[in-house]
Amino acid sequence: MFATARKIVSQNGILGLWRGYSMGATREGIFCSSYIAINPLIKTWLLQKRP
């Protein structure tokens, strides 16, 4: 694991460790927001179908 980090830093500099972070954070933000919004609806629907 440390060898990989060293290789990234040597090829791309220290900022290379954060390459792609913004896209990953955006993806997770969309997923978490969707999950928080939809979860109560799905839970209610499932409880009605199978008490």
**Prediction pTM value:** 0.61
Residue range 14-37, pLDDT digits in tens: 999 999 999 999 999 999 999 999
Per-residue confidence band for 1, with pLDDT thresholds at 50, 70 and 90: confident
The CA distances from residue 19 to 11, 16, 35, 44, 50, in Å, are 12, 5, 26, 40, 45
Residues 9-15: what's their mean pLDDT?
95
The tally of domains found in the chain comes to: 1
Q: Which tens digit of pLDDT belongs to each residue from 31-40?
A: 999 999 999 9
Q: Which domain holds residue 36?
A: 2-49
